[in-house]
Structure 1
Amino acid sequence: MTTARTAVVAGGGIGGLATASALGRCGWSVTVLERAGQPAATGGGLMLHPNGVAAADAISPRLGERLRRIGHVVRPGETRLLMDATGRVLAREPIGDVCRRLGRPMIAVMRVALHRALADEACAAGVRVELGTTVHGHTTRAGRVSVRADDRVLEADLLVGADGLRSVVRAMVVGDGAPLYRGYTSVRGRATLPPDRPQSFVVNGIGLQLFTAPVGGGRCYWTAKISASPAEWPARGPAGAHAALLHLMHDWCPSVLRMVADSPVDEITVTDIRDRDPVDRWSDGQVVLLGDAAHPMVPALGQGANLALEDAAVLAAATGATSDVAAAVRAYENARVGRAAAVVLESRRQGEFDQGAGARQARRRDDVMRRRGRKDAAALSFMDWQPVGLPLTGGVPR
């Protein structure tokens, strides 16, 4: 009888649960350690692009099918409205045509629903998830990793640091200090779609951009990115940030203003936007980084969750190709570092451009959108990723 290889995943977010599911389906015995005592009940929504959907399909066909059921699948011919603050349409972005060309859909989904789907998939793969457990550090010796978690030590063949923007595992592997504030904050919420705008839309203001996407049943999520000093908006709390956002939008298109005004205040989330400069090393032997711990990025291209799903699929596939865990980690790192760096830097550039921090910058942004007919043309170059050597198969590799 072959003993299953063991993995500890630090972090039970999107990347951590996706990785745990993928490894579990490949025959690993996996434990996820999540510092939060319970899953977050808020967090807004996100867009799974064709590359993220391809990764989800590779991790588990059942997962891909569920995501198509729980979110809004962009239809052929569907467009996204690009507007100025008055509601005047600058362009109609042909997002449905992109999906048709790439052969997989975009899916807008609430973050909570995605997290629940990944948690269920992890459970089905035999993964053990421990909430309220914090990883404090690790040591490696003789091909094993000792993971310090609260008052005990777990031994494993592999430690995956999927513990987010301020990753404890990254601090030990890379040690590059604090993440970088990018000059704007994010206020996110859930709402009912305006009757006069039942599709996805983007509204441009000065130092403010609002993105909205339907998630099914007449519901949507929205994300406002606001140019500001660091800590200014989080200090207001959900209710204060909601009120301040409405003040900034006082002269905006009435139906959009009403949509934000009617959003449940107890589901508002406020986060300063930070990223990190790309690095060319995510690993140390049998310890490896993934998702936001490896490549945190601003949300301008909507690729953060998508790349985390890609990471999970590639790491699991790499471990399935060899019994040498350190070699699998190196193969994963080699496959991912360059692509992630490109997305991080392009997201940073697009995010700064989107903000239109002054009147001149806002006019230039609007003119570019009108001329190109797209919000972020560069995003297209990242959406055609396809998994190689996947879907995953069960069993412990020989």
Structure 2
Amino acid sequence: MIGAGIGGLTTAIALRERGIGVEILEAAPQLRTTGTGLGLGPNAVAVLAALGIDLADGSVGQVLEQFELRTDKGKLMRQLPIRDIVTELGAPFVNLHRNELIAVLRAAAGDVAITFGAAVERYDVTVDGVSVTCADGRTASADVLIGADGIRSVVRAQRAGGEAINEYGYVCWLATIPFEHEHLTTGYAGHYWGRGQRFGLIDIGGGNAYWWGTKNLGIVGSRSWQGSTADVLAAYDGWASEVTDVIAATPDSAVVAVPAQDRSFVDTWGEGPVTLVGDAAHPMLTSLAQGAGSAIEDGYVLAHCLAATADPTLALRRYEDARRERTRTLVANSRRLSRIEQIDNPVASTLRNFGIRYTPMSVVKRQNMDPLRFDLPVN
């Protein structure tokens, strides 16, 4: 397997649970520790529980208790029925630092071998399976190759050629810091919607907050942003106090800036004994918060298919068939929601906020639950 991120580690754990040997090649010199926060929905939390990883026990992160949509000034537009949703789905939402999740996954992977500093340059399908060649000349071979190497996947690039990455003209700022505020209660998540920009403030436990912000800057501006925390703060001048306070408390070094990106969905993820998982297969915008969750689902389904099918190549095609429509829908709906979220037109944004306030709760509940529904495959 190529890549030791969330998708790669989850896949390795699921394969190991099924008695299937796995080795990971990772281009980085060590496990990445530069991430910020993320949220895992009940779909992902349930998959990890099936692999023996209980994120609801309070040892890492924070279970979501309250989710509000507010205006840029902090006025409440809608409170989502989180308790009803998690009761119906049978698992909680958990917000945590990416590094915490990686540490938990690495521990659960046990004796799975990870070779760091192994930047794969190409793969070759052989009569016995597949071989890979690294930048330093090292080679490795296996029955199956799984590309879990992210949106700029080398494995995907070799199969699909020079695909363009889609850019949407807004930047995403992200940070995690120790932070206390009267509005940041235990288990709180608040999304603040303005014109052409948004903000999220989330309790991730241990006295820490995860925040993210977006702003329409155009493709070039979003791709090349290199400002300071003061610049981010200026972008949110006049917003709710909890928004400006958490930005002001954030050192420059803690802010990560990335442009909003995805790729056009492709139906074919692999060939022969090669396939993809996570962002390598179906990178998506963050609007549904399902990038990590869908990668975790991928790993579980892939391991199930390999364990249930004698022919590895056939197993990979069954895995892809099982995942294609769900992930296609997540990519498309993330993109659709992103357009609504980033509306800059004053009339359109007013209508959007009106819809948030007055859409029937039954519709709101269904819209939020649909991306979270995932049935674990059974033998």
Letter in 1 for 2:168: R
Match of 2:171 among 178, 185, 190: 185
In the alignment, the residues of structure 2 paired with residue 90 and residue 105 of structure 1 have an alpha-carbon distance, to the nearest angstrom, of 23
After superposition, where does 1:244-323 map in structure 2 within 5 Å? 244-323=231-310
Distance of aligned partners of 1:67 and 1:309 in 2 relative to their CA distance in 1, 3 Å threshold: farther
Deviation (angstroms), 1:14 = 0.6
Q: State the 1:379 CA deviation.
A: 3.6
Equivalent position SS for 2:257: strand
What is residue 30 of structure 2 aligned with on the other side?
Answer: 38
Counterpart AA for 1:17: L
Aligned residue among 195, 198, 216 for 1:227 = 216
Taking a change above 3 Å as real, the CA distance of residues 65 and 217 of structure 1, as seen in their structure-2 partners, is closer
Q: Is the 8 A contact 1:301 1:376 kept in 2?
A: no
Structure 1 counterpart of 2:325:
338
Change (3 A) 1:241 1:226: farther
1:117 to 97, 100, 104: 104
* Cα distance change on mapping 1:234 and 1:41 into 2, 3 Å: farther
The amino acid across from 2:153 in the alignment is: S
Matched, 1:163 2:149: yes
Q: Report the AA paired with residue 212 of structure 1.
A: L
**Number of the residue aligned with 2:350:** 363
Corresponding position: 1:210 with 2:199: yes
Distance 1:222 1:65, change over 3 A: closer
From 60, 74, 81, the counterpart of 1:70: 60
Q: TM-score, normalised by structure 2?
A: 0.93
Q: Deviations over 1:121-172 (max 9, x none)?
A: 12x1x21111221110101021410111221110100100111001110012
Q: Following TM superposition, by how much is the alpha carbon of 1:303 offset from its aligned partner in structure 2, in angstroms?
A: 0.5
Gaps of 5+ in 2: none
Deviation at 1:196, TM superposition (A): 2.7
Aligned amino acid, residue 9 of structure 2: L
TM-score, with structure 1 as normaliser: 0.89
CA contact (8 A) 1:18 1:309 kept: yes
1:20–1:379 Cα change, 3 Å: same
| Number of equivalent positions | 373
Equivalent position amino acid for 1:217 in 2? G
The 8 Å contact of residues 231 and 272 in structure 1, kept in 2 or not, is answered as no
Q: Distance in 2 between matches of 1:375 and 1:137?
A: 46
| Mapped partners of 1:80, 1:375: distance in 2 | 13
Q: What displacement does 1:177 show?
A: 0.9
**Is the Cα–Cα contact under 8 Å of residues 55 and 94 in structure 2 kept in the other structure?**
no
How many angstroms apart in 2 are the aligned matches of 1:15 and 1:263?
A: 29
Distance 1:193 1:204, change over 3 A: farther
Asked if the contact 2:270/2:276 (under 8 Å) is kept, the reply is yes
Letter of the structure 2 residue corresponding to residue 358 of structure 1: N
Instruction: Give the match for residue 350 of structure 1.
Output: 337
2:201 partner amino acid: T
Tell me, in whole angstroms, the C-alpha distance in 2 between the residues paired with 1:127 and 1:71: 25
Q: Which of 294-303 and 375-384 deviates more?
A: 375-384
Report the CA distance between 1:65 and its aligned residue: 4.6
Consecutive unaligned residues in structure 1, runs of 5 or more: 1-8, 391-398
Corresponding residue to 2:229 among 234, 242, 249: 242
* Separation in 1, partners of 2:54, 2:310: 28
Offset at residue 375 of structure 1 (A): 7.8
| Counterpart-to-counterpart distance in 1, 2:117 and 2:368 | 36
Q: CA deviation at 1:197?
A: 3.6
- What is the CA RMSD across the aligned residues, in angstroms? 1.9
Q: Counterpart of 2:81 in structure 1: which amino acid?
A: P
Match of 1:394 in 2: none
Shift of the 281–376 alpha-carbon distance from structure 1 to 2, 3 Å rule, reads farther
Q: SS at the partner of 2:265?
A: coil
Letter in 1 for 2:262: D
Aligned counterparts of 1:165 and 1:375: Cα–Cα separation in 2: 31
